[in-house]
Structure 1
């Protein structure tokens, strides 16, 4: 028996025998974009005339070397290149990086490797080269197909380029790709939102990320907010859009994720199932477990110039999760999933007995926020709508 932090409640004592090391994924952050979008709060920076590809790949591999002790013999089940706009990097640079990663950590035979890309960065020859590297999934940032909306969002592509991007993805050999699409855009009507969604569906992606625009601190839109649709319009968009997606065979499996049968994003499913992930690159985050059941979150130096400085440490900070935090941390992820998670997964991923959730679980069920299913932890439809209220019940 061991504990991460001392707790007066015996039900929060962690049992390393019940704990299992989760599957391991790798997130790689490439922080440059052609230009910064006014709604974006990610760690992204406008690219200069030349990207420091070689130096950045060297830094990424050196960063990974410092984290290898956290692998504990596991293989990588997925890799996700996020940003920024990772497709700004050449196939040669990404090839050298993937080769270096595989030399350090074994790849699962069916590893999923996703690359984020924007329509304005699409070149068919380049994407064919990516596919030959073993990258087998694209996530294409469309956001909208309508010219006025794209201009308002600061995007550098137009609607025709967005459609061509999907065609070029298929031509380059990608039979698995996601389209990112926003709704609740400035001045958007229900009809406009559904028109965007219909155009996206017509491209026959295997996966759609369809989510509402929100105004985030430290963005242009936060300081200069556009006029967004009223709440009743947002609700009508959500209901009509979900029905349209279901009609065309896209099942919702997470708050903003819809997929054809068997095409859920494995990297994201691992994240939402409280799996482990290494994070390398400027500002990347990680969540890693030790065989004794200790779980840490860590984060890397944020600014690219500092990350590339050989005198700087890659890791900017880390935090050991206390035992009392683990129920909230676990449920914050799995309750986003439409099907939740098997109840035993709670103990496997946290080392805590399922009984430690009993009181909060009972109250959540009585409020109609959590399904009364002894075999699974699943939010009700009401619980999905009021997820923050549901999670608050599990805070110590």
Structure 2
């Protein structure tokens, strides 16, 4: 029988005050009062319908993402988390994260969120530069960002700041200044990632120009050095943390762990006792979701897709890839990917050891080329 480990829970809140031009996440602009009471009721019903897939595994991380989850009142968050815990086993020391906007009204709710069980906050800062915030269509200014960080630090030591580099009109010194500001406030975790323009976004339609590749590369190299010097360890392509503050929920994704996804447009991945992996996708249409039509699709992941998805996630991490771990997570023997591994080694992307593989610096720098090998 396939050995099953604890599972994570992702909860999607689909509303935003404004759709940012670069955003390709599933969300709705809130032009009127959010039907949060009704949505929470349906989230819990959606959760109940997925329980048969879990096979009595404890939930050890919960992530409330969006959209902008901090638009919800503290009472709604409390009802949601209490409802989850009444219906299923949640670890006493579970990591429970909420994504939040640095808007004044929203960060004033943080103390109430903590009282509801939230123990990790993730602030979508993006930049401390007010002019750049306008360019990327955020709804707050640098003063609100700083106030939100100060208030969050009073409430919790477990604070992540989301920052982006390669913004329209951003200079190298701007990107480094953002990091210096973030480091000054000593968050436990910094997510620092490059802005990319996806095809189904407003910025793509407008053909928004980003800094040249050389400037972006310099931002990455010098930013990495600054973060390392300041005590932040890079454990994933865009994630840096103080000791023992890695995001456990995201680590579960990158280690090809299992998670339930509830809410409008949410995705789930759940391994069964026979080793099969089930993928669930929830209905993106909010009106349909609020009538009880939760599930859009459910399917068994093929062996080919399992292999690719495993490496697509695990290659993001800065750690050895245990061959035993590959077998445990995919229920596939590594002999099936022997030729792919040999090609990756020959290209200088991987190093092969007795019990593990290790991604080289070249492999990290040309990750897309490395992944293409596992598509074959």
TM (norm. structure 1) is: 0.92
Q: Distance in 2 between matches of 1:357 and 1:259?
A: 33
Q: Distance in 1 between matches of 2:140 and 2:358?
A: 39
Deviation (angstroms), 1:123: 4.8
Alpha-carbon displacement from aligned partner over 1:89-129 (angstroms, at most 9, x marks no partner)? 01111111111111122111220000000101555552111
Deviation (angstroms), 1:395: 2.1
1:327 corresponds to which residue?
307
Q: Distance in 2 between matches of 1:225 and 1:343?
A: 43
Deviation (angstroms), 1:341: 3.0
Contact 1:273 1:341 in 2 (8 A): no
Q: Distance in 1 between matches of 2:111 and 2:321?
A: 37
Contact 2:104 2:144 in 1 (8 A): no
1:75 corresponds to which residue?
58
Deviation (angstroms), 1:371: 2.2
1:389 corresponds to which residue?
369
2:332 corresponds to which residue?
352
Contact 2:100 2:107 in 1 (8 A): no
Pair 1:212–1:125, CA change in 2 (3 A): closer
Does residue 299 of the first structure (1) align with residue 278 of the second (2)? Answer: no
Alpha-carbon displacement from aligned partner over 1:335-361 (angstroms, at most 9, x marks no partner)? 110114322111111111122222211
Alpha-carbon displacement from aligned partner over 1:147-184 (angstroms, at most 9, x marks no partner)? 1100001111111111111111122x211010000000
Give matches, 1:147-166, under 5 Å.
147-166=130-149
Does residue 28 of the first structure (1) align with residue 8 of the second (2)? Answer: no
Contact 1:334 1:340 in 2 (8 A): no
Q: Which segment drifts farther, 357-366 or 269-278?
A: 357-366
Q: Distance in 2 between matches of 1:124 and 1:360?
A: 48
1:7 corresponds to which residue?
none
2:23 corresponds to which residue?
40
Higher relative contact order structure (alpha carbons within 8 Å, sequence separation ≥ 6): 1
Contact 2:123 2:161 in 1 (8 A): yes
Q: Distance in 2 between matches of 1:121 and 1:290?
A: 44
Deviation (angstroms), 1:322: 1.1
- Picking from 105, 111, 114, the partner of 1:128 is 111
Contact 1:250 1:259 in 2 (8 A): yes
- Picking from 210, 222, 231, the partner of 1:240 is 222
Alpha-carbon displacement from aligned partner over 1:25-73 (angstroms, at most 9, x marks no partner)? 0000000011111110001111133110110001101101110101101
1:370 corresponds to which residue?
350
Contact 1:122 1:165 in 2 (8 A): no
1:281 corresponds to which residue?
263
- Picking from 181, 184, 189, the partner of 1:202 is 184
Q: Distance in 2 between matches of 1:83 and 1:140?
A: 12
Where do 5+ consecutive residues of structure 2 fail to align? Answer: none
- Picking from 82, 86, 94, the partner of 1:103 is 86
Q: Distance in 2 between matches of 1:273 and 1:122?
A: 36
Q: Which segment drifts farther, 209-218 or 366-375?
A: 366-375
1:214 corresponds to which residue?
196
- Picking from 342, 354, 357, the partner of 2:322 is 342
2:44 corresponds to which residue?
61
Q: Distance in 2 between matches of 1:158 and 1:324?
A: 46
CA RMSD of aligned residues (A): 1.3
Where do 5+ consecutive residues of structure 1 fail to align? Answer: 1-16
Contact 2:70 2:106 in 1 (8 A): no
